[in-house]
Amino acid sequence: MKTAFLTIDWETPQSFLRDLRKNNVSFEILRHELMLSTHLLLDLFSEKNITATFFISFSEYKLYGKNFIEKLVKLISDSGHEIGLHTHPEMIYPEVIFLKDLDYDLKVDFVKQGVEFLSNITGKKVTSHRAGAYGISNECLGILEQNGILIDSSFYHGHVNCNLDFDESFKNKIFKNGNLIEVPVTTIHYKPKIHHRILNKIVHAKTDINSINMNYWDKIIESQSENSFINLFLHSYSLTNYSQSSISYRKENIDNFNKILDIMFKNKFKFKKLNNILNKKIIYLTLVLQTLKIFSYANIFKRVRKLF
């Protein structure tokens, strides 16, 4: 079976927000963007009969108030989607952009606060996490585990912000590290533009509508083997246009995202939430696959075990 995990970083566009705040311009319009894009995504997923994992940048309650965030998160959860934790410390600790850069005690506080905030809204356990901008280190993994997180999806091999100590052989593999299951961001190498081809320049990109040119999606998805998975990456704001004065649908991206989903359906991908991995049957299957595969990896004696 081919599996697609549609994972959405649910947040305000970070660099745009930073610019507005730096120039003392009101960022209130971004509250409307968050509302518009949430409804847009929920309608689209319901139409396509897809369930997804939303990584919620909970700290944005500092910008928009707790009530506002709670209502939207409840709506997403009640629509059948998974609510995961997304960690952008900046809203609470202004000088700190990445989770990995908080002092140990503040990391613990911040993760605990996020898990409690989200689980109080949904009445469900929060078991999945992605660090904002992949700004994670090995130290963070233990803290996540202590706070009930069972799945992390922050590993982006080769990304400058990502300080997880896994080598290239873990790229695009689901694996278990202690009790934590890692579902990496799917990345590919390709030559998108003519001058890249001429210069033999290869671009390393994630499977995100904003990162890969539309002409390449067919080829990427068709080349996936049986039992493979794609972590299909999206930002909540990827399907809207936003400026200081207006918010609107981004028609071209909406059409293109629909096309990507259709290509995935055509290639028999089944959409799952990350926490479906915790389903006993899947765990059993992955453990069987792990037993079969483990002999082929040099990391057999490491604490880290690849699942598939």
How far apart are CB 200 and Zn ion at their closest, in Å? 33
Q: What is the C-alpha separation between 195 and 23, in angstroms, rounded?
A: 37
Which of the ranges 6-14, 93-101, 106-114, 259-267 carries the binding residues for Zn ion, by CB under 5 A? 6-14
How far apart are CB 215 and Zn ion at their closest, in Å? 27
Nearer to Zn ion, 173 or 206 (CB): 206
Nearer to Zn ion, 7 or 127 (CB): 7
Residues from 25 through 84 that contact Zn ion (CB under 5 A): none
Binding footprint of Zn ion, residue count (CB under 5 A): 3
Which of the ranges 5-13, 28-36, 112-120, 284-292 carries the binding residues for Zn ion, by CB under 5 A? 5-13
Residues from 167 through 186 that contact Zn ion (CB under 5 A): none
* Burial class, 198, CB count within 10 angstroms (exposed 0-12 / middle 13-18 / buried 19+): exposed
Q: Does residue 89 interact with Zn ion by CB under 5 A?
A: no
String of contacts with Zn ion for each residue 252-291, x by CB under 5 A: ----------------------------------------
How far apart are CB 2 and Zn ion at their closest, in Å? 27
Q: Does residue 13 interact with Zn ion by CB under 5 A?
A: no
Nearer to Zn ion, 27 or 216 (CB): 27
Which residues are CB-contacts of 60 (< 8 A; sequence separation ≥ 6)? 11, 12, 34, 69, 88, 91
How far apart are CB 9 and Zn ion at their closest, in Å? 4
Residues from 121 through 160 that contact Zn ion (CB under 5 A): 132
Q: Does residue 9 interact with Zn ion by CB under 5 A?
A: yes
Contact positions vs Zn ion (CB under 5 A) = 9, 11, 132
